Chains A and B, each alone.
Chain A
Amino acid sequence: MAKNNKVIQKQKKNYDSWLIITVLLLAFYLFFMIYPMISLVKQSFLDKETGLFSMTNYMEFFNNKSNVLALQHSFSISVWVTVFSLILGVPLAYFTTCYKIRGSKLLRVLIILSSMSPPFVGAFSWVVFCGNNGIFTRFMRDVFHIDMPSIYGFNGIVLVMSLSFLSLVYLYVSGALKNIDNSLVEASSNLGTTGFKRFMKVIIPLIMPTMLASALMVFMRAFADFGTPVFIGKGYQVFTVLIYDQYSGEMSQNKAYAAALSVIAIVITTVIFLLQKWANSKFTFTMNALHPIEQKKAKPLQNFLMHLYCYGITLLAFLPQIYVIFSSFQKTSESGLIFKKGFSLNSYRYVLEAYSDTIWNTIKIAVSALLLVVLVSVVCAYLVVRRKNIMNQALDLMTMMPYIIPGSVIGVALIVSFNRSVLGLPVLTGGPFIMIVALIIRRSPYTIRSSVAILQQIPQTIEEASISLGSSKAKTFFKVTLPMMLNGVISGAILSWVSIITELSTAIYLFTYRTRTMTISVYELVTKGSYGYASAMAAILTLFTTISLILYMVVTKGEGSGTA
């Protein structure tokens, strides 16, 4: 009997340790996400003069035409970018999956690489390439006497983002295409539906859920992107830049106003999210191909056009990065403002000297954030999948919220809430701590989702088998569950790593001189006009992402089909 009591106590203890983890995670999210969001909403309703509850901020916002216009701009950019990414990305995925395209593996690597590079690098390099003084613009002007249309503004933003995000669509859709069973294609041929008609009537409906999912992803990213419109917008105001301007306020700083803007942005993204969910519910079926679609060789003309398309698009998406690397080796004037003839390493020399701290900052902050993101994600996934209860469901919901909250808004919320002492704690902003917190909050939804997906594929009986063979629950987790999750977790982690080191829209609110990261220094250098130096920094960043990609390919054994 005494022995039984001991065992009961032990079981209770075991139960408690998971409970403690749940409570700690809940506390973390309540403190660093829910509380800042609530204070943001509260602040948006405060009159900046009287400090009383009022709708002034919102009224002011909607009375000011240029503000409403910025929101409209953001919205129309996102819609068009989504449309173009799909129009460009879906055929790319279809051609490379269903037809024999020479070098499709190389194409895949290049596309993944361009998906990993932050859009603002694309923006910045398009400026260097096709801007007012860009090499292409000058070439056309000097040789052909043609004035190229301006790359700045709406067109430029949509171009850069579409080329950047089509890679996401490509990755998602080619994954879905691989799940279509060849017999479905054969059956449709058998019933007399071939070619373009088959693509529209059979293939598109089958990949619709994936297309909707990737459309949402692209929309959210386009809507929340800060770097691209800053670099290439040139006065074409969008809401992320507007929030930043209101917040950092070169003219007049107005935090309450920025808060109101943030709330409006969340409302929009939430509506889009719900719309997508609703649309997705119209297409519920699962596919699992026993025999994936066989790659066919197309007729000569079609074959040529397909190759042209695939290589053309990939090159276009990848070109800016090549050009950035190229210009990073160009000689520049002392100030770095003007490119000179010939090549040198002076940009690198300068950057490594003057900005070496930012590289270290990036690595330090990104590594700490990554470790914590992985830890939080694996534990959350375990709690959500294996220990369903109300608290863990609440946790699940909370961790997913940043999915629909633009990064700028999280930045504003954190800075508004923690630039003063809260609960008697020291001021949390101004150091690397708050930047790490922001990265955890922003990245976790993606890594949690992928961890949950992996965990759901592991049958619970495998864990039970381990327990029945005498392993404790903890030992089972570390010896069985974790090793089985590991590959997926590592590949997810590498993708997270890439998006962490290329993060800009939140960090821009939270950095101080001491905690500048590489993306921020690119931003600063571009703002100063030191394109050569900025190129060198961007090239180093690209080097980082390339190494990460190679690692990722090794871990996933060349599959590379994972999506962050």
Chain B
Amino acid sequence: MSVGIKINHAVKAYGDNVVIPDLSLEVNDGEFFTLLGPSGCGKTTLLRMIAGFNSIEGGDFYFGDKRINNIDPAKRNIGMVFQNYAIFPHLTVEKNVQFGLKNRKMSKEEMKALTDEFMKLMHIEEYKDRMPERLSGGQQQRVALARALVIKPDVLLMDEPLSNLDAKLRVEMRTVIKQIQREVGITNVYVTHDQEEAMSVSDRIAVMNEGEIQHIGKPKDIYQRPANLFVASFIGRTNLCNGKLTVKDGKCIVSLADGYQFEMDNIIEEHQHDQDVILAIRPEELVINEKEGIHAKVDDSVFLGLNTHYYVLSDAVHCIHTEDKDDDRFELIQESMIDEIIPNGTDVRLKIKKEKVNIFTSDGKQNIVKGVKNDKYLYGNK
């Protein structure tokens, strides 16, 4: 009995400290929807408001047509999976899975059948008599998932469910989660700070920062046409640099620091005027070649098998330092060739795949390249 979720103008405040000023969104029935953002952006707070563990200071929350603001968390019919799994340590695997069913009016046989079905679905039926302390992290997370799904909740809420697992298990479990979600066909709100994880599982992602939604969209749209500078630098790796946009005879020319210029033909009309801009160029959007492009010098390289990462220095670009990237070097990724890796100190030229490049206003608040799809505005966010 999966339903959609609608949130209108949600407000969260602790005393005078407003954490979420005004937030609206909609999650479609059966959708895998992810709240993504750095820690402290309000994503877990919002999830806990949906669950009913945090009070709601303003706005309306709906499951389908039902307003849930004042419904006790125990009556919201949600399945929840926690970061630390929150498995009951004093109960066996089977009893853990069964726990929620005992709060429903249900015959013993029915209960057993459902419990078995979901233990089987999550491949934990062989551990059903074990105590949780004898399970690995991945197994515990499977129990948590089975326990949340067996009650046939209206929505499934997951709060960083994979962050306590090691890297390999994390990749394995996210496939499991995605697969189960599709199989059960349940509306899922998923919270994470890991952008790669978000992209791999989600139908749509809401990128949040400082209690506000920055961008809602499909993983591809968000990665390729981020709505603003924050989204561009939070999702994936990006080289940022200053540039100038000049419009001459209806042509948009972007020039870099050393005078290197290229033409862009996909700038939104209303932004077609002379202005300072910020360029966001992802490492794979630069191609090393011998003839044309920006002058640069290889500073360092890292061979990673499939790809080789090069770090280059160039007078052409004024790099903008961010929290996770604070040197003057440009990063670029090339498919590893059978030839030698280009030695450090070599002069190279870089060609920009300009159809992929994103350009932002100098305050970083807006992408001025055509093709941004941001569902945020559909729901009445400012």
Contact = CB atoms under 8 A, between A and B. Distances in A.
Interface string A284-314: 0000000000000000000000000000000
B342 interface: no
18 contacts: A7-B75, A11-B72, A462-B86, A462-B88, A464-B73, A464-B80, A465-B82, A465-B88, A467-B73, A468-B76, A468-B157, A469-B74, A469-B99, A470-B77, A470-B103, A471-B74, A472-B74, A480-B88
Contacts of A471: 74, 99, 103
B73 A459 contact: no
B89 A465 contact: no
A7 B72 contact: yes
B86 A469 contact: no
Interface in B66-105: 67, 69-80, 82-84, 86-90, 99-100, 103-104
Contacts of A461: 82-84, 86
B147 interface: yes
A10 B76 CA distance: 15
A461 B67 CA distance: 24
A283 to B, nearest CB: 29
Q: Give the 10 A-B residue pairs with the shortest CB-CB distance, closest first.
A: A469-B100, A470-B103, A465-B86, A461-B86, A468-B80, A461-B82, A462-B86, A483-B90, A467-B73, A467-B74
Given A469-B99, A469-B100, A469-B147, A464 B74 contact: no
A470 B106 CA distance: 14
B277 interface: no
Contacts of B82: 461, 464-465
A335 interface: no
Given A468-B51, A469-B79, A470-B75, 17 more contacts: A4-B69, A7-B71, A459-B86, A461-B84, A462-B87, A462-B88, A462-B89, A464-B82, A465-B88, A467-B74, A468-B80, A469-B74, A469-B99, A469-B148, A469-B151, A475-B103, A484-B88
Contacts of B99: 466, 469, 471
A8 interface: yes
Contact of A469 (B72, B103, B157): B103
Contact of A484 (B69, B79, B83, B90): B90
B53 interface: yes
Categorize the interface residue count of chain A: 20 to 34
Contact of A459 (B70, B79, B84, B103): B84
Given A469-B99, A470-B104, A471-B103, A11 B70 contact: yes
Given A7-B71, A7-B72, A471-B74, A466 B88 contact: yes
Contacts of B157: 468
B349 to A, nearest CB: 52
Contact of B79 (A10, A468, A472): A468
A430 B211 CA distance: 63
Contacts of B75: 7, 470
A480 to B, nearest CB: 6
Given A470-B77, A470-B103, A464 B53 contact: yes
Pick from A10, A459, A464 the residue with the most CB of B within 10 Å.
A464
B190 to A, nearest CB: 15
A415 B75 CA distance: 51
B99 to A, nearest CB: 6
A321 B344 CA distance: 81
A468 B72 contact: no
Contacts of B104: 470
Nearest to A482: B90
Interface string B34-68: 00000000000000000111000000000000010
A563 to B, nearest CB: 23
Contacts of A464: 51, 53, 73, 80, 82, 86
A483 B77 CA distance: 24
Contacts of A470: 74-75, 77, 100, 103-104, 151
Contacts of A11: 70, 72
A468 B90 contact: no
A552 to B, nearest CB: 20
A8 B151 contact: no
Contact of B72 (A10, A459, A462, A483): A10
Nearest to B69: A4
Contacts of B87: 462
Contacts of A459: 84, 86
Pick from A467, A468, A470, A483 the residue with the most CB of B within 10 Å.
A468
Interface in B2-39: none
Contacts of A466: 88, 99
Contacts of A8: 70
A4 B75 CA distance: 12
Nearest to A468: B80
A466 B74 CA distance: 8
B67 A4 contact: yes
A4 B104 CA distance: 21
Pick from A4, A459, A465, A473 the residue with the most CB of B within 10 Å.
A465
A490 to B, nearest CB: 13
Contacts of B76: 468
A461 B89 CA distance: 12
Contact of A465 (B71, B72, B80): B80
A89 B86 CA distance: 40
